[in-house]
Amino acid sequence: MKKRNLGNSGLEVSALGLGCMGLSFAYGQALETQQGIKLLRDAYDAGITFFDTAEAYGPYTNEELLGEALAPFRDKVIIATKFGFKDGRPNTGLDSRPENIRNVAEASLKRLKTDYIDLFYQHRVDPAVPVEDVAGTIKDLIAEGKIRHWGMSEANADNIAKAHAVQPVAALQSEYSLWWREPEAEILPLLEKLGIGFVPFSPLGRGFLTGAITADTKFDSGDFRTSLPRFSQENLKANQALVEVLQGIAAELNASPAQVALGWLLAQKPWIVPIPGTTKLTRLQENIAATNIELSADALQKIEAAIAQVDLHGARYPEHLQKQVSK
């Protein structure tokens, strides 16, 4: 597995990480514990060293799963987790008060069976707490050796700059894919200027860009996607044109649509590290193979031209969740 550096932080990770949320949370039935442990260890054996979790995934159970699975090789992996919701539950609102940040750090350390967190993200910017105060608390935790680097998620350019001035931000984690390109306008230029790495979540559009989801797909009743406007039957049908474009390009490159989507992301900047998630070993292997795809300038230009012809439909989040995304 190739390696990448997240900006100027000195944090080196595998070129592709693993988003672990779906093992325990959000996409229907959680994996049985031993199945989850096996998948995580298979990912490590395949070269992945960057694992992403959060107290909110479960809540708590995802961190516990990673703690058990990664314990045998803890010093050889980078674990990212997050703080920022009341009681670790997104539906209860935001909480980035310094005392909560400290409490979450201590609890996460125990669940992850470790004495340090490699990368500690603010899950969402809390408008009730100045980002400078958040960064100051993180600075203290770094001095105490409890965390090594910190990051932000779905933060806007102004908040990133303010926080970075107090304690350098190692990485920003936000949605970015061929289905959602908003970060290109302001965020990517700022990250490059400040030397901050970028970790795109949902790089495969929550599974849509793989081609496995159509307007006829029936999601489990506990699947988070049932609440997302993009995944209404009407919008899935309208957005199928994007998948058809990817399928055509993938066929020419002897690759899968998912590999083209990940290859496109990896080609954007050398400090971008996508974190696709999966519960299946075959998908994990398919995603990892994307790191070996070298998209030529002509191929990238063809993708851009084709995607520009597609009119995408549907908001990312329902209104109550959209309010938690920092604009």
Q: 121 an active-site residue?
A: no
Which backbone phi and psi does 62 adopt, to 5 degrees? -70, -40
Measured CA to CA, the distance from residue 121 to residue 106 in angstroms comes to 14
Q: Please give the structure tokens belonging to residue 306.
A: 């084709």
The residue from 57, 60, 121, 176 that is catalytic is 57
Contact, 24 vs 56, CB < 8 A?
no
**Do 167 and 140 touch, CB atoms closer than 8 A?**
no
CB atoms within 10 A of CB 285: 13
List, in order, residues 6 or more apart from 198 with CB less than 8 Å away: 6, 7, 171, 172, 173, 174, 176, 183, 187, 188, 191, 269, 271, 272, 273
Structure tokens at 125: 């910017």
Determine whether 28 is exposed, middle or buried from the number of CB atoms within 10 Å of its CB (0-12, 13-18, 19+). middle
- Axis crossing angle, helix 257-268 with helix 297-307, rounded to the nearest 10: 110
Q: Which two tokens stand for residue 179?
A: 């289905």
Q: Scanning the structure block, which residue is given the tokens 């490590």?
A: 44
- In the chain, the largest separation of any two C-alpha atoms, in whole Å, equals 54
Distance of alpha carbon 296 from alpha carbon 285, whole angstroms: 23
Distance CA 114, CA 79 (A): 10
Q: Catalytic positions, please?
A: 57
